[in-house]
Structure 1
Amino acid sequence: MKYVNRISSEAHKLVMRTIKPGAYEYNAEAMFMNYCYISGGCRNVSYTCICGSGHNSSILHYGHAAAPNNKIINDGDMCLFDMGASYCGYSSDITVSFPANGKFTEKQKIIYNTVLKARNAVFNSLRPGVSWVQMHLMANEVMLNELRDNGLLRGNVQDMLCDNIASIFQPHGLGHFLGCDVHDVGGYMADTPERPTAPGLRCLRTARKLEAGMVITVEPGCYFIDALLDKALNDDVMKKYLVPDKIEEFRGFGGVRIEDDVLITEKGMENLTNVPRT
């Protein structure tokens, strides 16, 4: 798993250095897959590559047969590339987000740094005995604070957490186990905590406490998905937290996700992923 993470990280860095506006999204996919095979002997990827640019970066599992990474990448687009090689049956799962032209706009800075702060907060807390549910809630709290401080939200963040405002912007769980499958087994078993039923938590792929030897992804994200924004703006509870004019400025932005593959150790964690984050 360390090896396939290293190869996948190097492949991502090649794509980040090379891709430019005017290329097709599938050019990035092909470049990634070629590097992993020709330089690392990784014949397969762990899942269908997700190479979203612009609005497509807000589509969580973009890249499937009906949306096959075939948009032209435009100047000013945010790219969200979620790709991981497989080696000897073991998976990797890495996401990078960056501006196609190499220069962050002010809006892109806000959202990228929001997600990065959430990721760093989780990293600083990962160790055996920590509840994955609490890690997810921590990431949500950090992102809500940042979105409020940057004028997209208003009100008390604890109230926002209770009213599930985070799910408007991050409609998925913080991460999943990783191993012989990209979404590996072990999330919910007979002797582990049951799946939470609360809104915003029922999408979590595990509610377990972390143990040394586990490999899990940490992948906070912030997206501007029209259907979720429209629903929230028409919901009497949710809309009181949203600043409509500011939200409209981010329509079509797409999304940012930062995903690392992490080994839980006896004393903390080891990040198996090595790609630029700042």
Structure 2
Amino acid sequence: MAIELKGPAADVLRARRQRLSKMMSGEPILLVGHGSLPRNFLANTHPFRQDSTFLYFLGVDQPGAAAVIGAGGHTTLYMPSPAPGDELWHGPGVPFERWVARSGVDEVCDRSSLQPASYHCLPVADPVANQEASRLSGTPLDPRNATGSEDLRAAVVSLRLCRDAGEVQAIRRALCVTSEAHRVAMESTAPGVTDTEVHALIDAVFALHGMPPSYTSIVTARGEVLHGHARNEPLRAGEMLLVDAGAEDPSGYASDVTRTWPVSGTFTARQAEVYDAVLEANAQAIACVEPGRRYREVHLAALEVLTVALRDLGLLRGSLDGLLEQGAASVFFPHGVGHLLGLDVHDMELLGDAAGYPVDRHRDPAFGLSALRLDRDLQPGMVVTIEPGIYLVPGILEDATLRAQYGDSVDWAEAECWLPFGGVRIEDDVLVTADGNEVLSASIPRTRSAVEALVGTGPSPRQRLLGGSAS
């Protein structure tokens, strides 16, 4: 039985483990993978997704795996033996020797033979796997806190921070499918179509290419809800549809793209002004992406563009310098401009701020800046998102603390008159190159004219998915 090669070749995986072992001075490392997670009873499980660090070093996407990496990168892979009767329900298992060829490990043993020792290890997202790893290593593991080996965390972040050519190619493959999904969704949007139908169409395009979503697709006319989801509501003329959706390559690499478009096919005058401001912030932030540039500066470049636009729109008041010093635009742009992208859509976020922040930097407590997920100096090979936005969020506009903090710098009465506006976000995936950057998601329409030209020009989601009439 052959194992489909979905990720790096065995020699690449072996070299990664050797580098990791060297950084850890040859001390033993325990990596645990995820198990199958039940949906509502034990035999009914969610689709399996392996821990990203385990994928990076082992390339094994089977449940219940673990590995011990020793001096020189010597690796023993531990795989569970099939349960009695498993072949009847799930087909024949993979012989252990096949995993040696696939992952380049030195040996494969039965999972039950893995013994406790003084291992370096890190938490994963599976609580059962964490309990077992804690028992084997004697180290409490909790992904909600910075638990586990600090040295191992730093080493893993260092190795996973920048993409090699194969990783970039995997992200390109995912973005090719993501581009098709966004285009089809734009074409199929029209008044009367439901947000759920558009969501179904996007995920169907992913599935047709053998790719799952990198995250639950965000498809909503309530764009002020940053991670809002479809609610089976008919879309109405005059609304904007915000779609934040990306396919995941079979090797595990993510894509993450947001576009916002008018349900009717034409932005209103107010929507157009906001859209153009966000697009300009997107462009100015991308222009800042280059080796050596601090990512916080990329965020601030977008913030300055949005501050000028919000003042021109009558939502902010005062001098530009004063508004920038105050960070007043965060009332309408309350999140960071982006994050790392890789095997996780928010890459390595499971490892806490160690991934996004070097040891000498910490999150700014200021509203808006506190949500900045990344503040490293950019390096060639990093892939980051650039996703500025403008949102009219009732909860923010009603917040007494924020009203007191920003005072007359915000025209609160004018902002309330805009409700329910929703929100606009434009997000691209950007590779840091040796001499600048490359927008990997550039094929997905983002100028206002290109978006308007595409919306509503194709069959409805039901027609595409079911054939026949739109009913």
SS at match of 2:429: strand
Residue 414 of structure 2: aligned partner: 246
Residue 23 of structure 1: aligned partner: 193
Contact 1:233 1:242 in 2 (8 A): no
Contact 1:196 1:207 in 2 (8 A): no
1:50 is aligned to 2:218: yes
1:78 is aligned to 2:240: yes
Deviations along 1:32-70, one digit per CA (max 9) or x if unpaired, are 1111221x221x1011111111xx11101112xxxx432
Deviations along 1:199-245, one digit per CA (max 9) or x if unpaired, are 33221111101110000100001100011112269724423122345
Residue 129 of structure 1: aligned partner: 292
Determine which structure has the larger helix proportion and give its number. 2
Identity %: 39
Contact 2:379 2:432 in 1 (8 A): yes
1:105 is aligned to 2:268: yes
1:7 is aligned to 2:170: no
Residue 31 of structure 2: aligned partner: none
Task: Quote the Cα distance in structure 2 between the aligned partners of 1:33 and 1:199.
Answer: 34
SS at match of 1:270: strand
SS at match of 1:261: strand
SS at match of 1:62: coil
Residue type at the aligned position of 1:73: L
Contact 2:334 2:367 in 1 (8 A): no
1:203 counterpart (371, 384, 389): 371
Q: Structure 1 residues 69 and 85 mapped into 2: Cα distance closer, same or farther (>3 Å)?
A: farther
Residue 429 of structure 2: aligned partner: 261
Contact 2:397 2:416 in 1 (8 A): no
Segment drifting more, 228-237 vs 174-183:
228-237
Deviations along 1:179-200, one digit per CA (max 9) or x if unpaired, are 100000221354x633333433
Q: Structure 1 residues 196 and 246 mapped into 2: Cα distance closer, same or farther (>3 Å)?
A: closer
Residue type at the aligned position of 1:252: P
Q: Structure 1 residues 7 and 84 mapped into 2: Cα distance closer, same or farther (>3 Å)?
A: same
Residue 317 of structure 2: aligned partner: 154
SS at match of 1:180: coil
SS at match of 2:363: coil
TM-score using structure 1 length: 0.92
Residue type at the aligned position of 2:320: V
Residue 333 of structure 2: aligned partner: 170
Contact 2:338 2:384 in 1 (8 A): yes
Segment drifting more, 195-204 vs 153-162:
195-204
Higher relative contact order (CA 8 A, sep 6+): 1
Deviations along 1:96-137, one digit per CA (max 9) or x if unpaired, are 001001011011011101101101111222110111111111
TM-score using structure 2 length: 0.55
Deviations along 1:75-102, one digit per CA (max 9) or x if unpaired, are 1101100011111211011100010010
Task: Quote the Cα distance in structure 2 between the aligned partners of 1:158 and 1:203.
Answer: 22
1:230 is aligned to 2:404: no
Contact 2:358 2:376 in 1 (8 A): no
Task: Quote the Cα distance in structure 1 between the aligned partners of 2:327 and 2:400.
Answer: 10
Contact 1:173 1:203 in 2 (8 A): yes
Q: Structure 1 residues 178 and 234 mapped into 2: Cα distance closer, same or farther (>3 Å)?
A: closer
Task: Quote the Cα distance in structure 2 between the aligned partners of 1:151 and 1:69.
Answer: 32
Residue type at the aligned position of 1:148: R
Whichever of the two has the greater Rg, that structure is 2
Stretches of structure 2 that go unaligned for 5 or more consecutive residues are: 1-170, 349-354, 448-471
SS at match of 2:371: coil
Residue 156 of structure 2: aligned partner: none
- CA shift, 1:159, in A, is 1.4
Q: How many aligned positions are there?
A: 269
Residue type at the aligned position of 1:227: G
Q: Structure 1 residues 124 and 257 mapped into 2: Cα distance closer, same or farther (>3 Å)?
A: same
Residue type at the aligned position of 2:235: I
Deviations along 1:151-180, one digit per CA (max 9) or x if unpaired, are 222111221222231221111111010110
1:275 is aligned to 2:437: no
Residue type at the aligned position of 2:246: G
SS at match of 1:85: coil
Stretches of structure 1 that go unaligned for 5 or more consecutive residues are: none
Residue 36 of structure 1: aligned partner: 206
Residue 226 of structure 2: aligned partner: 60
